[in-house]
Amino acid sequence: MTSPPLPRPARPSRPAARLAAVQALYQRAMSDAPVPTLLREFHEHRLGREIEGDEFADADADFFDDIVSGVALREEEFDGFIGGALAEGWSLDRLDRPMLQILRCGVYELTARPDVPTGAVISEYVDIAKAFYEAPEPAFVNGVLDTVAKRVRSGK
């Protein structure tokens, strides 16, 4: 008699990495914590851990690190893309900190991660916006990221 196959461990989650990246960058905006400190804190205490009875998904740690580090390095550049995609009369100052981090992460992936399909990037960050906001903010995220995608990924 043979043993049943062992279940394969779940693959680390990119959606969980994206959500954690938005949270880490929000924390950075609030506390001015250095990126290495944030990465260490999230690796040691949040990614795939249980906090106050809530179990967090096992995030793709390398993907998380890439987003957080990439956004931190190119924040001003990404703010330019975001500002250029806003409707007339809007400015970055009108965006609250969580929204700004969601958009920065999305713009990072659109500009620096050609391996991730445009539709996946936009859809994932719209889903993250839904976790933080009710309508119309998720549609706003969709519109801004779609505009940026058309500018930076033309023909892709």
Q: Which two tokens stand for residue 29?
A: 């905006």
Instruction: Say whether 49 sits in a helix, a strand or coil.
Output: coil
Tens digits of residue pLDDT in 42-84: 888 877 765 445 555 678 999 999 999 999 999 999 999 999 9
C-alpha 57/C-alpha 47 separation (Å) is 7
C-alpha 21/C-alpha 71 separation (Å) is 9
The domains located in the chain, with CATH, are 14-151 (1.10.940.10)
pTM for the model: 0.87
Residue partners of 33: CB distance under 8 A and separation at least 6: 27, 41
Tens digits of residue pLDDT in 116-138: 999 999 999 999 999 999 889 99
C-alpha 24/C-alpha 28 separation (Å) is 6
